[in-house]
Structure 1
């Protein structure tokens, strides 16, 4: 997808009108089998979002208008155990018809394992132009085939406590580097022990090193496919990897303005909790934090949240962070006995039906929507009371390019290497130079094993 995330984030919101146009008798007959058929198909959809955060309403909307195809939603937890549970179910005939993957490496693994049904014949039959509907770079093809359609665009940004910003005399950043970010973190760090207020916290649930070193760090500077060189070796000797890791070590271990990784992991610290309890002045996470900010019952707070785009290594870096972009990859299980019905639901969901997901920060990737309506639905009725709305719009709708990788060789193995070696640097077991040297050596060895 080229230029204006605004265009890519134009989502299918006007649900009533679109449903009227897309849920008529002709589609119901096609989706439910032959016209007049009394057969009722039951589809099983698996996803990681809690039902009450949108999926339950999605399913309810579909089931009301498609009596011949009824959908049941099963939630799995998006961690290693939960993903293993999903993959086990995918291999058991009849347990899963459709499923959502939430990371590129997991989606790739499932495609390569034959768990996904190619969608090309369905797309061609319904004459759907994927580029017009989702963007030029929205879908990576595997072996020339389409195996998923991304349901959302997930942008990430830095959430800032406006009260602490004002107290420190700092403006809301509109574009900044890691050096700028570090200065902000220093100025907003205060106290000691239980009264410590960290200037920075990175991550939602316990920080995921790979995502914040590689996806949300190096990719901003270098763009897509940064793990590989043209000669088939890894790219970890590129200075950007050490530079990003240096920034993290500096924040945590030298300046002590960001909660150390080991402490965050041991305490299972949640980013939204530490930010909304005012134990951290800044939180770098995704738009998923919006739902917690709006939940003033469980997260009571009396400050306005402002937003800034993610920091960059260099002021002229042109990409949006690679941990974001197209996400919620919706696929049909290759073992499903109801592939045609599953396609009818998948098509409806990614093009219009996921509107109930918007209030919890999941912005559909369909390119036809009213941006102001998107913002209104995301921020909710208390927008002016809880959010700096203009800074949110600036950070969400950036005139930048999303990063879309096309190479995935040994991604799970390389990710594990990055996490292990970077963690050792963060806890002081080795220097950042030793960490990237080990990443390079170990990754090159993995890439040789075809």
Structure 2
């Protein structure tokens, strides 16, 4: 392992050296000959899903001294692939003025690597209360009292349902429910042609379903960096998934998903599954599908009958690169982009609190190929009646923690070991990751 890390370090240094030789040792954002400041803006979101041409044009018209150089690093809309290329660019010495991350784990890792500029000074100079202007619970963009970005797209975790399938089964769109009731719905919705439920492969989401419905965001590790693996809802989450797939036969088996490389969009929009836990970004991101059935939305199921309707939330966060030569201008861009720019872009629900939610949702639906497919009423109700969980910026090694956990969780879901063995092994593996990073 040490030898592998040494080789990777040497490769990274060689890449940085060659890049320096090729550009005189420095990659700058640069000034245009006409006096405009050019900002390099890095993202994984393509034109179809970002409406960048119209959005950037609007910004540049309102800020004539700033030009945006858009860098869409991937074509497949994969934030993981994007981050790999972004990290390579950073290692090669590229100047990064503005960058986006899609989760608190991804943000935290770049903060730990020194890639992100804190924005506290800029917020103080502007005199804004960031907690009032934005739904910061969605972003976890603060750590030790500092902020490392502003949230743009607001994502509430919820359940996406095929309304026609509900009607055929005589089921109402839930306004509040438990995971036991979710299981009942999955059974009622399952037919010879489809599963009632679909759970994808993400260990940060589909392996911790019940953990995501708690008041606080102590997932696999706590805010103080200690293990949270004794939390009973972790084991209960895995058991819930196993029961849906292996006992009730109402959800696509995990083995099928990984062997056939199934995708949640494909399964839901081709009507191979009636419902799936997902995030509210799916209001417009249909991945090229054109559903002819109405899409209904329900709150995240409760762990216990008397609980509030807690829902984990997340956001795409826009941050300033630590090596940017134009940080003031970069801050100006992310402030505009996460407020007025979100309305111009009209592709997702903003984390900006000064918006009319119904108007936003109606406008978003109008941009889709079939506006009638979006049940705006149930989506609005779900968002407005979900209680955001408290969150914190996790440790920079959170991805390693999830990888360790997932290795054991997969063995359980594939029937290779029982739940007790799985949790014992997972607990030890997570502890090893924590100890290695102290």
Given the alignment of the two structures, is residue 353 of structure 1 paired with residue 345 of structure 2, yes or no?
Answer: no
Tell me if structure 2 keeps the 8 A contact 1:304–1:385.
yes
CA shift for structure 1 position 312: 2.3
Given the alignment of the two structures, is residue 173 of structure 1 paired with residue 174 of structure 2, yes or no?
Answer: yes
Given the alignment of the two structures, is residue 366 of structure 1 paired with residue 369 of structure 2, yes or no?
Answer: no
Give the alignment partner of residue 221 of structure 1, picking from 199, 214, 227: 214
How many residue pairs get matched? 401
Tell me if structure 2 keeps the 8 A contact 1:98–1:330.
yes
Deviations along 1:222-249, one digit per CA (max 9) or x if unpaired, are 5222434699642212221111111101
Separation (CA, whole Å) in 2 of partners of 1:426 and 1:117: 41
- After superposition, where does 1:184-263 map in structure 2 within 5 Å? 184-191=185-192, 196-203=193-200, 207-214=201-208, 216-221=209-214, 223-228=216-221, 233-263=226-256
Counterpart residue number, 2:385: 398
Counterpart residue number, 2:272: 279
Counterpart residue number, 1:65: 62
Can you give the 5+ residue segments of structure 2 that lack an aligned partner in the other structure?
Answer: 1-29
Separation (CA, whole Å) in 1 of partners of 2:414 and 2:304: 26
Separation (CA, whole Å) in 1 of partners of 2:268 and 2:140: 34
Separation (CA, whole Å) in 1 of partners of 2:248 and 2:361: 36
CA shift for structure 1 position 427: 0.9
Bigger relative contact order, structure 1 or 2 (CA pairs below 8 A, ≥6 apart): 1
Tell me if structure 1 keeps the 8 A contact 2:309–2:386.
no
- After superposition, where does 1:73-152 map in structure 2 within 5 Å? 73-77=70-74, 78-135=78-135, 137=137, 139-152=140-153
- After superposition, where does 1:285-434 map in structure 2 within 5 Å? 285-292=278-285, 298-318=288-308, 320-322=310-312, 324-325=313-314, 327-359=315-347, 362-380=348-366, 385-408=372-395, 410-434=397-421
Query: When the two structures are superposed, what TM-score results if normalisation uses the length of structure 2?
Result: 0.84
Deviations along 1:129-167, one digit per CA (max 9) or x if unpaired, are 212211464654334322111112111221211211111
Can you give the 5+ residue segments of structure 1 that lack an aligned partner in the other structure?
Answer: 1-31
* SS of 2:284 mapped into structure 1: helix
Separation (CA, whole Å) in 2 of partners of 1:287 and 1:98: 25
Structure 1 residues 125 and 367 mapped into 2: Cα distance closer, same or farther (>3 Å)? same
Structure 1 residues 96 and 167 mapped into 2: Cα distance closer, same or farther (>3 Å)? same
Separation (CA, whole Å) in 2 of partners of 1:441 and 1:56: 49
Separation (CA, whole Å) in 2 of partners of 1:331 and 1:229: 24
Given the alignment of the two structures, is residue 269 of structure 1 paired with residue 262 of structure 2, yes or no?
Answer: yes
Tell me if structure 2 keeps the 8 A contact 1:158–1:307.
yes
Separation (CA, whole Å) in 1 of partners of 2:83 and 2:317: 14
Separation (CA, whole Å) in 2 of partners of 1:208 and 1:43: 33
Structure 1 residues 426 and 76 mapped into 2: Cα distance closer, same or farther (>3 Å)? farther
Separation (CA, whole Å) in 2 of partners of 1:385 and 1:200: 23
* SS of 2:339 mapped into structure 1: helix
* SS of 2:40 mapped into structure 1: strand
